[in-house]
Amino acid sequence: MFYDQHNVCFYSFPSQMNDDWPGYSLDLFSYPAHYSGDLDCVFIPHGVIMDRTERLARSIMDDLGDHDIVVLCVLKGGYQFCADLVEGIKALSRNSDRTIPMRVHFIRLKSYLNDQSTEDLHILGAEDLSFLAGKNVLIVEAIVGTGKTMKTLLKHVEAFRPKMIKVAGLLVKRVPNNAACLPDYVGFEIPDRFVVGYALDYNEYFRDLNHICVISESGKMKYKI
């Protein structure tokens, strides 16, 4: 049992959520008033995200400690998770005999229109990754769905001949045929629902939510393009 920053009690919050996971009532949390009516529930509270991210940082330290790594942050949705994960690794490095020297590089992927993934994938900032040759690479992504986007990115990165590639994903959606491209480090496995917050967006909205929430149908209609 533990309490998050809003003093809400949680009993062993699962890292793998069932398909019928209802989330938490919005009344239990603070969130921007301009999103009133746009959300169904809080799916993963911010305090739980931070706790799980700290655990992932420890796992990465256990596996990669004393290895130089290049962190490849996938924008835009992955920036908050990446920042918190890197900070967690840095904190462990400061208080351990082992350390991970890190460099961080940013790339941007875009494949969504409204709430649907499209076949048209754009990779920006990854045209020349020749500096990855012979390096240990940690790709940090916020969410993995079908795995098609990650598979394309991995193929692109592999072309620059890194020494090793690991992937950290905060969320993995439980969808058909995604088992072939699961991250090495997984925060939460979730049902196939469209979630926003903690830098995840819907047409650039909701990045300013601290919690990961489920967008409502009225929210989708309000911000649809």
Q: Is the dihedral of CA 168, 173, 174, 177 positive or negative?
A: negative
Structure confidence at residue 54 (pLDDT): 96
Burial 202-219 (b: 16+ CB within 10 A, else e): beebbbebbbbbbbeeeb
Compute the distance between CA of residue 189 and CA of residue 192 in angstroms, rounded to an integer. Answer: 10
Compute the distance between CA of residue 139 and CA of residue 126 in angstroms, rounded to an integer. Answer: 12
Residues sharing a CB contact under 8 Å with residue 70, sequence separation 6 or more, in sequence order: 102, 103, 104, 105, 131, 132, 135, 136, 137, 138, 162
Structure confidence at residue 66 (pLDDT): 84
Closest CA to 43 of 58, 64, 28: 28
Q: What is the distance of C-alpha 71 from the center of its chain?
A: 14
Task: Provide block-wise average pLDDT over 10 residues at a time, the chain (225 residues).
Answer: 46 77 95 96 97 96 90 95 97 88 89 56 76 95 89 90 96 79 93 96 95 97 94
List of domains in the chain: 47-190 (3.40.50.2020)
Compute the distance between CA of residue 127 and CA of residue 74 in angstroms, rounded to an integer. Answer: 14
**pTM of the entire structure?**
0.88
Compute the distance between CA of residue 14 and CA of residue 136 in angstroms, rounded to an integer. Answer: 31
Q: Per DSSP, what are the bridge partners of residue 197?
A: 200
Angle at 58 between CA 54 and CA 63, to 5 degrees: 145
Structure confidence at residue 98 (pLDDT): 84
Q: At what angle do helices 79-94 and 46-64 cross, to 10 degrees?
A: 60
Structure confidence at residue 120 (pLDDT): 62
